[in-house]
Amino acid sequence: MLGPWVDLVVFLIAGLTFPIVNVALSSLLRRDYPYPEKVMPYESGEDPVGDARVHFRVSYYIYAMLFVVFDVEMIFLFPWAVVLRELGVFALIEMIVFVGLLAVGLFYAYKKRVLRWV
């Protein structure tokens, strides 16, 4: 009667203690010799120039988020195109609606002037 609960409790205990034990052991066993070259920021093998905290305009982030959203949604087109003949006309209509919604979102972003790179 308690079989599944015992398994769950053992799994939770193991899942919680495993990361803690690993972090504790790694901090005890590692060598730590901080010297100026070691703690210096790394920039592709080059010496860092200037401050690492550069401010970007918010519009760049919005542009990047729009790209990611549309890119991820377009990933759904490939599997659909592979099995389109088996799915039939209903799947074609569904995909037309899907692409139409993407077009409406893109048009909305265009009207809000989000896609301007200035």
pTM above 0.75, yes or no: no
Per the CB < 8 A criterion, the answer to whether 108 and 62 are in contact is no
Cβ atoms < 10 Å from Cβ of 118: 5
What pLDDT sits at residue 15? 94
Q: Which amino acid is at 98?
A: F
Per-residue pLDDT tens digits for 66-96:
888 888 777 888 888 888 888 889 988 988 9
Per-residue pLDDT tens digits for 11-55:
999 999 999 999 999 989 988 777 887 777 776 767 767 776 777
Query: What letter would DSSP give residue 43?
Result: B
Per-residue pLDDT tens digits for 58-68:
777 777 888 88
| Mean of the per-residue pLDDT values of the chain | 83
Confidence at 1, pLDDT banded by 50, 70, 90 = low
What pLDDT sits at residue 60? 77
Sorted by where each begins, the domain ranges of the chain are: 3-39, 58-111
Q: Which amino acid is at 2?
A: L
How far is Cα 70 from Cα 109, in angstroms, rounded to an integer?
12
Which residues have a Cβ under 8 Å from the Cβ of 66 and sit 6 or more positions away?
Answer: 109, 114, 115
How far is Cα 24 from Cα 29, in angstroms, rounded to an integer?
9
Which of helix, strand or coil describes residue 103?
Answer: helix
What pLDDT sits at residue 118? 62
